Structure 1
Protein backbone atom coordinates (compact mmCIF):
# COMPACT_ATOMS: atom_id res chain seq x y z
CA UNK A 1 0.00 0.00 0.00
CA UNK A 2 1.28 3.42 -0.99
CA UNK A 3 -0.20 6.56 0.55
CA UNK A 4 0.18 10.26 0.05
CA UNK A 5 1.16 12.30 3.07
CA UNK A 6 -1.78 14.72 3.03
CA UNK A 7 -4.74 12.68 1.88
CA UNK A 8 -3.80 9.12 2.92
CA UNK A 9 -4.82 7.59 -0.39
CA UNK A 10 -4.46 3.89 -1.04
CA UNK A 11 -2.83 3.45 -4.45
CA UNK A 12 -1.83 0.44 -6.51
CA UNK A 13 1.67 -0.09 -7.87
CA UNK A 14 1.01 2.23 -10.83
CA UNK A 15 -0.45 5.03 -8.72
CA UNK A 16 -4.12 4.35 -9.48
CA UNK A 17 -6.59 4.86 -6.63
CA UNK A 18 -7.57 1.49 -5.15
CA UNK A 19 -11.03 2.61 -3.99
CA UNK A 20 -12.95 4.70 -6.55
CA UNK A 21 -15.22 5.96 -3.76
CA UNK A 22 -12.26 7.87 -2.28
CA UNK A 23 -12.18 10.16 -5.33
CA UNK A 24 -12.97 13.85 -5.36
CA UNK A 25 -11.44 16.80 -7.18
CA UNK A 26 -8.85 17.38 -4.44
CA UNK A 27 -7.77 13.77 -4.85
CA UNK A 28 -7.44 14.35 -8.61
CA UNK A 29 -5.23 17.39 -7.93
CA UNK A 30 -3.04 15.38 -5.54
CA UNK A 31 -2.67 12.46 -7.95
CA UNK A 32 -1.68 14.87 -10.73
CA UNK A 33 0.79 16.60 -8.40
CA UNK A 34 2.36 13.24 -7.57
CA UNK A 35 2.91 12.77 -11.32
CA UNK A 36 4.52 16.20 -11.63
CA UNK A 37 1.50 18.00 -13.10
CA UNK A 38 -0.59 20.92 -11.96
CA UNK A 39 -4.20 20.04 -12.71
CA UNK A 40 -5.82 22.74 -14.84
CA UNK A 41 -9.53 23.45 -15.21
CA UNK A 42 -9.31 22.05 -18.74
CA UNK A 43 -7.81 18.78 -17.46
CA UNK A 44 -10.42 18.57 -14.73
CA UNK A 45 -13.21 19.06 -17.27
CA UNK A 46 -11.84 16.13 -19.31
CA UNK A 47 -11.72 14.01 -16.15
CA UNK A 48 -15.29 14.93 -15.21
CA UNK A 49 -16.49 14.05 -18.71
CA UNK A 50 -14.64 10.71 -18.71
CA UNK A 51 -16.17 9.89 -15.33
CA UNK A 52 -19.65 10.78 -16.65
CA UNK A 53 -19.13 8.58 -19.72
CA UNK A 54 -17.89 5.74 -17.55
CA UNK A 55 -20.94 6.00 -15.29
CA UNK A 56 -23.25 5.91 -18.34
CA UNK A 57 -21.48 3.23 -20.40
CA UNK A 58 -19.52 1.21 -17.83
CA UNK A 59 -16.33 1.50 -19.87
CA UNK A 60 -13.54 3.97 -20.36
CA UNK A 61 -13.87 5.31 -23.91
CA UNK A 62 -10.97 4.97 -26.36
CA UNK A 63 -9.20 8.25 -27.02
CA UNK A 64 -10.73 8.77 -30.49
CA UNK A 65 -14.28 8.23 -29.23
CA UNK A 66 -13.61 10.42 -26.20
CA UNK A 67 -12.13 13.23 -28.32
CA UNK A 68 -15.02 13.04 -30.79
CA UNK A 69 -17.61 13.17 -27.99
CA UNK A 70 -15.96 16.32 -26.64
CA UNK A 71 -15.50 17.85 -30.10
CA UNK A 72 -11.71 18.03 -29.72
CA UNK A 73 -8.93 16.19 -31.50
CA UNK A 74 -6.69 13.49 -30.08
CA UNK A 75 -3.88 15.99 -30.68
CA UNK A 76 -5.64 18.48 -28.39
CA UNK A 77 -5.68 15.86 -25.65
CA UNK A 78 -1.99 15.07 -26.17
CA UNK A 79 -1.18 18.80 -26.16
CA UNK A 80 -2.97 19.14 -22.82
CA UNK A 81 -1.64 16.01 -21.09
CA UNK A 82 1.69 15.64 -22.95
CA UNK A 83 1.64 11.82 -22.81
CA UNK A 84 -0.98 9.09 -22.62
CA UNK A 85 -4.00 11.34 -22.11
CA UNK A 86 -6.50 8.55 -21.42
CA UNK A 87 -4.19 6.84 -18.95
CA UNK A 88 -3.74 10.09 -17.00
CA UNK A 89 -7.45 10.96 -17.22
CA UNK A 90 -8.30 7.52 -15.85
CA UNK A 91 -5.57 7.59 -13.22
CA UNK A 92 -6.45 11.02 -11.90
CA UNK A 93 -10.18 10.37 -12.29
CA UNK A 94 -10.14 7.08 -10.36
CA UNK A 95 -11.36 5.16 -13.39
CA UNK A 96 -10.19 1.69 -14.43
CA UNK A 97 -6.93 1.52 -16.31
CA UNK A 98 -7.58 1.93 -20.02
CA UNK A 99 -6.80 -0.99 -22.28
CA UNK A 100 -5.51 -1.01 -25.82
CA UNK A 101 -4.09 2.01 -27.57
CA UNK A 102 -4.19 4.96 -25.24
Structure 2
Protein backbone atom coordinates (compact mmCIF):
# COMPACT_ATOMS: atom_id res chain seq x y z
CA UNK A 1 0.00 0.00 0.00
CA UNK A 2 1.34 3.43 -0.93
CA UNK A 3 0.99 5.83 1.97
CA UNK A 4 0.18 9.51 1.54
CA UNK A 5 3.20 11.82 1.70
CA UNK A 6 4.79 12.09 5.14
CA UNK A 7 7.41 14.31 6.73
CA UNK A 8 10.72 13.10 8.18
CA UNK A 9 9.03 12.20 11.49
CA UNK A 10 6.33 10.09 9.82
CA UNK A 11 3.46 12.57 10.15
CA UNK A 12 1.16 12.94 7.15
CA UNK A 13 1.62 16.12 5.16
CA UNK A 14 -2.16 16.31 4.60
CA UNK A 15 -4.40 15.09 7.44
CA UNK A 16 -7.33 14.71 5.05
CA UNK A 17 -5.53 11.96 3.08
CA UNK A 18 -5.69 9.68 6.13
CA UNK A 19 -7.75 6.50 6.22
CA UNK A 20 -7.91 3.46 8.50
CA UNK A 21 -5.55 1.43 6.32
CA UNK A 22 -2.96 4.22 6.61
CA UNK A 23 -3.39 4.17 10.39
CA UNK A 24 -2.80 0.41 10.49
CA UNK A 25 0.48 0.76 8.55
CA UNK A 26 1.76 3.66 10.67
CA UNK A 27 0.80 1.86 13.89
CA UNK A 28 2.58 -1.32 12.74
CA UNK A 29 5.74 0.74 12.13
CA UNK A 30 5.62 1.58 15.86
CA UNK A 31 4.92 -2.03 16.84
CA UNK A 32 1.29 -1.28 17.70
CA UNK A 33 -1.61 -3.53 16.73
CA UNK A 34 -4.73 -1.37 16.82
CA UNK A 35 -7.62 -2.46 19.04
CA UNK A 36 -11.03 -0.91 19.69
CA UNK A 37 -9.43 1.09 22.53
CA UNK A 38 -6.92 2.60 20.09
CA UNK A 39 -9.65 3.40 17.56
CA UNK A 40 -11.67 5.16 20.27
CA UNK A 41 -8.76 7.52 20.98
CA UNK A 42 -7.96 7.95 17.27
CA UNK A 43 -11.60 8.88 16.60
CA UNK A 44 -11.51 11.39 19.45
CA UNK A 45 -8.32 12.95 18.03
CA UNK A 46 -9.76 13.15 14.51
CA UNK A 47 -12.88 14.87 15.89
CA UNK A 48 -10.72 17.29 17.92
CA UNK A 49 -8.82 18.13 14.73
CA UNK A 50 -12.05 18.73 12.78
CA UNK A 51 -13.27 21.15 15.45
CA UNK A 52 -10.02 22.99 16.19
CA UNK A 53 -7.91 22.45 13.03
CA UNK A 54 -4.97 21.45 15.20
CA UNK A 55 -3.71 18.51 17.23
CA UNK A 56 -3.81 18.77 21.02
CA UNK A 57 -0.69 20.93 21.57
CA UNK A 58 0.78 18.90 24.45
CA UNK A 59 0.56 15.57 26.19
CA UNK A 60 -1.11 17.25 29.18
CA UNK A 61 -3.87 18.74 27.02
CA UNK A 62 -4.26 15.44 25.18
CA UNK A 63 -4.88 13.64 28.49
CA UNK A 64 -7.27 16.40 29.58
CA UNK A 65 -9.29 16.18 26.34
CA UNK A 66 -9.59 12.39 26.65
CA UNK A 67 -10.61 12.73 30.31
CA UNK A 68 -13.34 15.28 29.48
CA UNK A 69 -14.84 13.07 26.78
CA UNK A 70 -14.18 9.50 27.97
CA UNK A 71 -13.80 9.93 31.73
CA UNK A 72 -11.01 9.34 34.24
CA UNK A 73 -10.56 5.63 33.45
CA UNK A 74 -9.26 6.49 29.97
CA UNK A 75 -8.23 10.10 30.49
CA UNK A 76 -5.03 9.41 32.36
CA UNK A 77 -1.37 9.18 31.36
CA UNK A 78 -0.91 5.52 32.32
CA UNK A 79 -3.81 4.28 30.17
CA UNK A 80 -2.71 6.36 27.20
CA UNK A 81 0.94 5.32 27.53
CA UNK A 82 -0.13 1.67 27.47
CA UNK A 83 -1.95 2.27 24.18
CA UNK A 84 0.56 4.68 22.63
CA UNK A 85 4.04 4.09 24.13
CA UNK A 86 6.61 6.85 24.33
CA UNK A 87 4.91 10.21 24.04
CA UNK A 88 1.22 9.27 23.76
CA UNK A 89 0.02 12.49 22.10
CA UNK A 90 2.77 12.37 19.48
CA UNK A 91 2.35 8.65 18.74
CA UNK A 92 -1.45 8.82 18.66
CA UNK A 93 -1.46 11.90 16.41
CA UNK A 94 0.96 10.25 13.98
CA UNK A 95 -1.29 7.17 13.74
CA UNK A 96 -4.41 9.37 13.46
CA UNK A 97 -2.83 11.18 10.52
CA UNK A 98 -2.70 14.52 12.31
CA UNK A 99 0.07 17.13 12.51
CA UNK A 100 2.75 16.79 15.15
CA UNK A 101 1.60 18.31 18.47
CA UNK A 102 3.43 21.61 18.85
CA UNK A 103 4.85 21.07 22.37
CA UNK A 104 5.74 17.36 22.16
CA UNK A 105 9.42 16.47 22.14
Indicate whether the TM-score tops 0.5.
Answer: yes
- TM band (smaller chain): 0.7 to 0.9
Which of 18, 28, 31 is the aligned partner of 1:33? 28
Which of 46, 61, 65 is the aligned partner of 2:41? 46
Counterpart mapping for 1:55-74 below 5 A: 55-61=50-56, 62-69=61-68, 70-71=70-71, 72=74, 73-74=76-77
Q: Give unpaired runs (5+ residues) of structure 2.
A: none
Q: Give unpaired runs (5+ residues) of structure 1.
A: 1-5
Give the number of the structure with larger relative contact order, counting CA–CA contacts within 8 Å between residues 6 or more apart.
Answer: 2
- Relative to the length of structure 2, the TM-score reads 0.79
- Relative to the length of structure 1, the TM-score reads 0.81
How many angstroms apart in 2 are the aligned matches of 1:78 and 1:8? 26
